[in-house]
Amino acid sequence: MLRTLESLGSLSGKRVVVRCDLNVPLKDGTITDDGRVRASLPTLNALINQGARVVVISHLGRPKGSPDSQYSLAPVAQRLSELLGSPVTFATDTVGQAAADAVANLKDGQIALLENLRFNVGETSKDDNERNEFAAQLAEFGDAFVSDGFGVVHRKQASVYELPQLLPSAAGTLIEAELTVLDQLTENPQRPYSVVLGGSKVSDKLGVIEHLLPRVDSLLIGGGMLFTFLAAQGHKVGSSLLESDQIDTVTRYLADARERGVEIILPTDVVVASSFSADAEHEVRPIESIEDTPFGADGLGLDIGPETSQLFSQRIAASKTVFWNGPMGVFELSPFAAGTKAIADALTRVDGLSVVGGGDSSAAVRALGFDDDQFGHISTGGGASLEFLEGKKLPGLEVLGWQQ
């Protein structure tokens, strides 16, 4: 049974360390998508309103175990302060003097954010002792621990796995919400149930496909991974992204789906470009003639075509449960964003549960002008969501009492 905030009792006047996932994209020190910061607000507000003294910890990016200014959480502290409408003290280290002072000076209902956890080698160390030592230092700052960074619960890291074993611990409201939705996607979903998978590599989605095939009614394939499926059917794909070593696996999935009566829906047309560039020449081609362009075998598919967008949108609209993970094309380049935008638009019209599966998908819907509340749920999980849907055990959930 997952331990929730209520299990911790009254937290008034207590120091509560909260592990959030504030790993936001930055450009020149400016946050380009604050979705994960906003997702942390319900738990933080719940603790502040109780009169807790809140110590927020998080990572950002992949620094190498030492301070690196490009990965500083300082911009996040500023944005968090703006969203909360109250000051957020920012400590310029993780477990040093600045952090100790920031925590010591907290009053009831106040909040501090410590610097990037991954500036300390102990956070991600493969050595159990190093992780335990860092977790013990973090535990000195709290009377209780709340885990609310769903995007990291699949990692055996000090702040995710060891720290909750050192303090009275529970899941925050974000993790609760994520688990409720993901449980719906795996146990008794409303039907018809469609899963839309995109992104670049089919190898990243193999576990999800295998685990969900017995559970879904239809599987829609887009993104770079579609070309491995097309190749498995004997189509030429030019210079499009292709994982030749996965063709046999994909062929097996296609056969398995037929046996189960699950419909795998592949694109009927794609946008083929002369190069990977926003100003590249491009044209829409049926999947049977991807190489029949002026670019020949050098052409590469960078988006699903308009016919496919319509086909996918119709299937999504007819579904009661839809999970989508991975863009349909290179949405960052405007000529190749139409497919992803069409899928996002279709999800907003689902009469049932529509779930955007985190990572690039959530970034895409925001970049393309959609609001979070237009969807049933936007996951903050990314890799954690996928591993959950693969049926894997997630260490950061197991330490909170969750059993999958």
Active site residues: 36, 201, 359, 383
Residue numbering of the annotated binding site for ATP: 205, 301, 332, 358-361
Encode 7-24: b = buried (16+ Cβ within 10 Å), e = exposed.
ebeebeebbbbbbbbbbb
CA–chain centroid gap for 342, Å, is: 20
Q: Closest Cα to residue 33, out of 369, 337, 373, 338?
A: 369
Beta bridge partners of 147: 19, 171
Torsion of CA 332, 335, 339, 344, to 10 degrees: 50
**CA distances (Å), 398 to each of 183, 249, 402, in order?**
15, 31, 5
CA terminus-to-terminus distance, the chain: 10
SS3 content of the chain, % helix, strand, coil (to 5): 40, 15, 40
The counts of H helices and E strands in the chain are 14, 17
Beta bridge partners of 129: none
Residue type, 188: N
Determine which helix (DSSP H) or strand (DSSP E) holds 129, and give its type and residue range: helix 128-139
Residue numbering of the annotated binding site for substrate: 21-23, 36, 59-62, 118, 155
Q: Where are the beta strands (DSSP E) in 176-281?
A: 193-197, 218-221, 263-265, 269-273
